[in-house]
Amino acid sequence: MSSPSDNTWSVEDAADHYRIAAWSDDFFAVNAAGNMAVQPLDDNSLSIDIMDVVAELRGRGVRFPVLLRFQDVLRARVRRLNSAFSDAIRDAGYKNVYQSIYPIKVNQLHEVVEEVFDAGKPYGLGLECGSKAELVATVAQLESDDTLLICNGVKDQSMLSLILSSQRLGKNVIPVMEKFAEFEDLIALADAAGATTQFGVRIRLRTAGAGKWADSGGYHSKFGISLPELMQVVAALQTSEAGHKLALLHFHLGSQISHINQLKQAARELTQIYAELISLGLPIRYIDIGGGLGVNYTGAFEEGSIQYSQQEYANAVVYAIMDVCDARGVPHPILLSESGRAMTAHHSVLVVETLGAFRKDNVDSDYAPPSEQHRLAKNLGDILQRLREAAHGAIDVDTLIEAYHDVVDIHQEASTLFSMGYFPLTQNALIERLYWSSCSAIMRHLRALQPDPMPPQFYVLQSLLVDQYLIDFSVFQSALDHWAIDQPFPIVPLERLHERPTRRALLVDLTCDSDGKITQYVSANEDKSFLELHPLQPGKPYYLGFFLMGAYQDIMGDAHNLFGRVSEAHIYGDAEEESNFWIEKVIPGAKVKDMLAQVQYSPSDLLRRMQIQVKEKIDAGALRPKRGMEILAQYEACFDDETYLVNSRTPQ
Ligand SMILES: *Cc1c(COP(=O)(O)O)cnc(C)c1O
């Protein structure tokens, strides 16, 4: 075990190891104390030690896991996106403006929407909704008549009517037609009301995206209007006297566009359509390129990862659209993008506690063999001692392989004897401990030698030796995309980063589901199936941060095993405050009764059932009435508990 004074490891090594510079976009860093820090302002002028936030929340009795929202980061992300586009527009000489649109499905939490909205005000930021509930949530927030609301998704007549009414209120609402029938419905409703309407169309382009969301665009997309249908729309508009306006053309290639070329191609394809329709006299003002601006969660450069900057993305869009417009001699439209992930991902960090670590190689260096030991345990103990006494690298590969074979033989022989009843359980348990510790010692020697290639049997051994760290959270509630689509999220210990992480860990959650674990990590290791962490210290908590959790994870989480929403803290940076921050609000996590209500249990009914059972026992004389009442009170108190563990026991 290395100590904080280990001079072969520094906080810079920790930053490299967890690839922090590659994914943090400068918002997160390791500070000199060896803790994770957030730099929430654009210019890195302020640094908040995340452990200070954790300490304050603990002091207030807030239950972990806690989702920290750094509101300044959210605001800074909105500003960065808008400046990337305004820089591109200025450099290109593009003769119109860009407006960002926040698609609330990425994170509908009211405060997130309000914060994004407020930060985006100077840039004319608008909102996007994709369902009836989202429409109801967004339409009431359009304080200014200029603020855009884009309504995507399949719409029924009640949604279309509400949209028409909000247009009559003078709001800048644009329903985007996903289907031809929707267009017919909209026009029929508008005509019946004697109103004129403006709308957009989502076009089914030839260009498809790539990667996990490839089917969001292209011919096979579930969404959009085909070119023949578009021509029907145009014909209908041209024959109508009502003055309905096609104001916007839209495409959405899908989230996390990995190749910028696809984006350029789609933008050019859509702009050709735009130019053609403009020359037919249609009053289109907006080109909306949808979402897709990627976030590089792993900081890696492998195939399929995000390898462009926001600036490159903005440049690509601005130049692609401008070039086609100039070639066709049509005016430059207002540019819209719905870059929800890019705006929200960075601002939230999930802080979880480690409840314990299960390590197989748990024979400490001060191991003293028991006085009574079987010949096999003695032999294995001797091998372990020899392996431990040798300097790393001092034993050659062949000798290590031989030692491994001996260790496996002893383990095998002990198992055989045990299953036949000739070997006591205590000795078998001892063999088990010595076996894994010997394997671990062999692996440490091998890693020092770095044989290339690694003898194949050791790959399996390496993965068997990984520790399990039990974490107080649910993958299904807090990191659904990890389970569903293998999305890796950066996970970093929040402290002890000046200390070399010597354990290889697999993080497992509280759910009774074998999928409730993290299987892919972000680190400098070639093998991403484990995360290097510190050994737990008895009596001390060990906190991990899950980073870039702000997009989708907040909202898609489900109630597997009835683990509910985690606690939340909203934090602002402030150089005037002692630790550079203040906490605006703490929202407690979901309670047991909330989760029960979701699946139609009522606490009063459950309590009544429990009362009947207790009463029966009391009546039968099997339970003292006082004890019975205590049990009922204890049961009732659990309704108000949060769903995660109350960490009354410190990790072992
Ligand atoms: C989901 C969605 C978005 C958000 O896309 P991101 O790439 O995640 O930012 C934008 N527009 C539409 C139409 C969407 O369906």
Q: For residues 566 and 351, what is the distance between their CA atoms, to the nearest angstrom?
A: 10
Note the pLDDT of residue 215.
67
Q: What's the CATH superfamily of 94-338?
A: Alanine racemase (3.20.20.10)
Q: What is the secondary structure of 605-647 as a DSSP string? A: HHHHHHHHHHHHHHHTTSS-HHHHHHHHHHHHHGGGSBSS---
pLDDT digits (tens, 9 = 90+) for 350-365: 999 999 999 999 888 8
**Is residue 151 within 8 Å of residue 137, measured between CB atoms?**
no
What's residue 7's pLDDT? 80
Peptide bond into 65 cis (omega under 30): yes
Mutate to test the pocket of ligand 1, among 255, 287, 313 (most ligand atoms within 8 A of CB): 255
Residue 79 CB-density burial (10 A; 0-12 exposed, 13-18 middle, 19+ buried): middle
Q: Which of 81, 102, 104, 106 to mutate to test the pocket of ligand 1 (most atoms within 8 A of CB)?
A: 106
- Residue 93, sorted as left (phi over 0), alpha (psi -120 to 50) or beta, turns out to be left
Which CATH number is associated with domain 375-464?
A: 1.20.58.930
Atom of ligand 1 nearest to the CA of 105: 1
Write out residues in the chain with pLDDT < 70, as ranges: 1-6, 208-220, 647-652
C-beta of residue 150 within 8 angstroms of C-beta of residue 287: no
Which residues form ligand 1's pocket by a CB distance below 6 Å? Answer: 103, 105-106, 130, 152, 252, 255, 290-293, 338-341
State how far the Cα of 548 lies from the Cα of 346, in Å rounded to an integer.
4
In the chain, domain spans: 94-338, 375-464, 603-640
**pLDDT number for residue 458:** 87
In 3D, which of 159, 115, 537, 139 has the Cα closest to residue 348? 115
pLDDT score at 2: 43
Of all protein residues, the one whose alpha carbon is nearest to atom 4 of ligand 1 is: 291
Which pLDDT score is estimated for 434? 96
pLDDT at position 652 is: 44
Residue 211's pLDDT is: 63
Query: What is the model's pLDDT at position 44?
Result: 84
113 CA distance to ligand 1 centroid (A)?
15
pTM score: 0.93
Residue nearest to atom 5 of ligand 1 (CA): 291
Mutate to test the pocket of ligand 1, among 113, 125, 128, 252 (most ligand atoms within 8 A of CB): 252
Distance 116 CA to ligand 1 centre (A): 15
Look at residues 15, 248, 260, 276 and name the one whose alpha carbon lies nearest to residue 128. Answer: 248
- Centroid of chain to Cα 570: 18
SS (H, E, C) 504-547: EEEEECCCCCCCCEECCCCCCCCCCCCEEECCCCCCCCCEEEEC
Q: Which atom of ligand 1 is nearest to the CA of 343?
A: 9
Looking at ligand 1, which residue's alpha carbon is closest to its atom 3? Answer: 291
Q: Measuring from atom 2 of ligand 1, which residue has the nearest CA? A: 291
> Cβ-count burial of 61 within 10 angstroms (0-12 exposed, 13-18 middle, 19+ buried)?
exposed
Beta strands in 143-244 (DSSP E): 148-151, 172-177, 198-202
Residue 57 has a pLDDT of 97
Structure-token pair, residue 212:
């996990």
